[in-house]
């Protein structure tokens, strides 16, 4: 049975969404704020978290960061704000998906099931990938290069993992967004450029095992310098 952590300071929304989730066979734990959510996370294993943005004590963005640092579960943020910078902030905090209120509970369930399928596939992927003296571990979210551990924000890690999983292949920005951010991402394609720039700034001084190469007119490719 899939166990859901449902976090919202509006009890009416909690109860309504819980009814739909129970009908779909989910096991639901409810929390009214981020503090309660963190307490539940320490006591119970969860398969997915659905988190409201506007909450007292610890908002959804900060709670998402806390969850992402310690638990490898998909996260959906719920918000009444439909502004692009709010969505960007949500994805930067580590959320996998973003749903604007008011929403249809059935749409939330569709998105939850899609994320759970995506995470199930990722569990089947090769956990550790090595290129030269650089290692990336999907399970621990660690990157090591020349015996030095590098801690990356979630989307930088996911982007690097995707590149290292497909060396020498050329991908367009659109393909990278779909693979790393998901097909529902509504941000600008320049998000890819920003994340590639950050990865280059981090790794170029540390290793010559690989380089993220710009393919003019197409996108990017991971060029491998070692065999």
pLDDT by residue (tens digit) across 92-124?
A: 788 888 888 888 889 999 999 988 887 776 555
Question: What is the dihedral sign for C-alpha 198, 204, 205, 210?
Answer: positive
CA-CA distances (angstroms) from residue 150 to 134, 141, 144, 160, 202? 10, 10, 6, 12, 9
Buried b (16+ CB within 10 A) or exposed e, 132-164: eebbbebeebebebeeeebebebbbbbbbbbbb
Q: Which two tokens stand for residue 206?
A: 């540390």
23-53 confidence digits (pLDDT tens): 999 999 999 999 999 999 998 889 999 999 9
Kindly tell me if the per-residue pLDDT of 133 is higher than 60.
Answer: yes
Pick from 132, 155, 129: which is nearest to 143 by CA? 129
* CA 227 – CA 216 distance, rounded (Å): 25
The answer to whether residues 9 and 56 touch, using CB atoms and an 8 Å cutoff, is: yes
What mean pLDDT, rounded, does the chain reach?
87
pTM equals 0.56
* CA 138 – CA 5 distance, rounded (Å): 23
The number of CA neighbours under 13 Å toward the Cβ of 193 is: 7
Q: Which domains does the chain have, with CATH numbers?
A: 3-123 (3.40.50.2300), 128-224 (1.10.10.10)
Bridge partners of residue 3, in order along the sequence: 27
Q: Over pLDDT 90: what percentage of the chain?
A: 51
């Amino acid at each position: 049975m899939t166990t859901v952590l449902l976090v919202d300071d509006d009890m009416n929304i909690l109860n309504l969404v819980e009814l739909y989730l129970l009908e779909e066979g989910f096991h639901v734990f409810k929390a009214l704020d981020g503090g309660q959510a963190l307490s539940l996370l320490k006591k119970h294993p969860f398969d997915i978290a659905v988190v409201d943005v506007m909450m007292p004590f610890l908002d959804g963005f900060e709670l998402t960061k806390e969850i992402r640092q310690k638990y490898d579960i998909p996260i959906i943020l719920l918000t009444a704000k439909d502004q692009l910078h709010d969505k960007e902030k949500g994805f930067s905090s580590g959320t996998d998906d973003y749903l604007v209120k008011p929403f249809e509970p059935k749409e939330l369930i569709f998105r939850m099931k899609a994320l759970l399928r995506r995470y199930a596939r990722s569990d089947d992927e090769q956990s550790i990938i090595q290129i030269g003296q650089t290692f990336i571990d999907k399970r621990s979210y660690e990157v090591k290069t020349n015996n030095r551990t590098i801690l990356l924000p979630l989307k930088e890690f996911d982007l690097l993992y995707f590149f290292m999983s497909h060396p020498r292949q050329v991908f367009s920005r659109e393909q990278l967004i779909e693979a790393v951010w998901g097909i529902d991402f509504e941000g600008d394609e320049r998000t890819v450029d920003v994340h590639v720039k950050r990865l280059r700034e981090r790794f170029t001084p540390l290793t010559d095992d690989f380089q993220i190469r710009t393919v003019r007119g197409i996108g990017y490719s991971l060029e491998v310098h070692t065999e």
